[in-house]
Amino acid sequence: MNDKEHNTRAPQSKAPSRAIVHVDMDAFYASIEMLENPALRGQPVIVGGTAEKRGVVAAASYEVRQYGVHSAMSSYRAQQLCPHAVFIPPRMGDYVKYSKKIFAILREYTPLVEPLSIDEAFLDVTGSRKLFGPATEIGRTVKRRIKEEVGLTASVGVAPNKFLAKLASDLEKPDGFVVIKPGQAESRLAPLPVSKLWGVGKVTQRQLAGQGVQTIQDLLDMPVHRLEGIVGSYAARLRRLARGIDDRPVVVGESSKSIGAETTFAEDIADPERLRGVADALAVRVARRLRKEGYRAHVVHLKARYADFTTVTRATTIPIATASTQELVETARELLETRLDRRGRALRLLGVSASGLVRPAEGEPELFPDTEREQNERVDHLLDTLQERFGAGSIWRGVQKRTEDGA
């Protein structure tokens, strides 16, 4: 192509910026209870187990939150903070019915819906604007329809990416609606506390505060090498978030699903050998479910809850998706022993889950697999078949028997 031909080509149009909506229901379980029983409105409502049975707060109405009660807190502590709180046992079946109504509304505006839980989701409405108008209009319409058709309030955030949209939905809860436009990110983020950034938990927040970092602007002003000394290789990602940069797409379908198993101990456990055995057993269960449902996973998560109900999660990505028992056990162990930083503290709950799910390629495995990974997966499938036929205790790998006894 000569210069003349090149110069006469029409300039390419710039791709439109993404438009993401984050919908987060307000005190979902508690709001449903108050909707169905108007006598509860205005009262401090807690959905969860009772204090006598080591219960946990699953949801707290805004009336009870002013006493310091929040989800994942022990019911015993919640009752201490608010003795006159009304405790209601969860009714998950009913909550799921409401969730289905809400998600049906969301999917009328875009097929790109990523559920984060039964009461929260991201919507990519970039391609929906020609049909339904600007993203802000879509967000307001969704919010209004949920209120009119379901009877519940939602907080909605609209922004050019997932991080900013989720942040926006949280700024004016409950019943909030916040828009962060392209170009506004850094100015909106700068005065906010650094805890608003994903990945900055209580421990990291304290470490940053010790270095004089209180706000997101303080973090951006901090020399990179000092930030790396606190958060390691996550420093680059944290600085990008602090500038409002987040390139992750909305994930639809199987990739947003996860498969997991967890257990709450009758008594808190500090012994590392016992915890390792429980983690191994949970990983075995997750691997079996992956194979049974025909998935492999790219990401393994470890969830741990301490005696004070502080809950932390750690995750690692596996480059080649797997459903191998051995790989999941080894990965869960690594997260427990090298990434959790437990420092001898006892745990009351431990969980293992897998996400980033994909279907393996069609076709039967080779008769003589030529890699160790394929050999392990073939053995796993054989063990699954034998255990299904003759019982779970009929045959096992050496590590599997030991870990199941430990659980």
Task: Catalytic residue, from 120, 149, 254, 327: name it.
Answer: 120
Pair 143, 154: CB distance under 8 Å: yes
Neighbours of 22 (CB within 10 A): 27
Alpha-carbon distance of 325 to 292, in angstroms, equals: 12
Which residue type occupies 133?
G
327 included as an active-site residue: no
> What is the helix (H) or strand (E) element at residue 352, kind and residue range?
strand 347-358
Q: Which residues of 245-274 are buried (b: 16+ CB within 10 A; e: fewer)?
A: ebeeebbeeeebeebbbbeebeeebeeeee
CB-count exposure of residue 10 (10 Å: 0-12, 13-18, 19+): exposed
Alpha-carbon distance of 96 to 18, in angstroms, equals: 30
Bridge partners, 374 (sequence order): none
Alpha-carbon distance of 198 to 186, in angstroms, equals: 16
Neighbours of 221 (CB within 10 A): 11
Bridge partners, 159 (sequence order): 20
Pair 357, 258: CB distance under 8 Å: yes
Which residue type occupies 81?
L
Pair 171, 130: CB distance under 8 Å: no
Alpha-carbon distance of 235 to 225, in angstroms, equals: 9
State the catalytic residues: 120
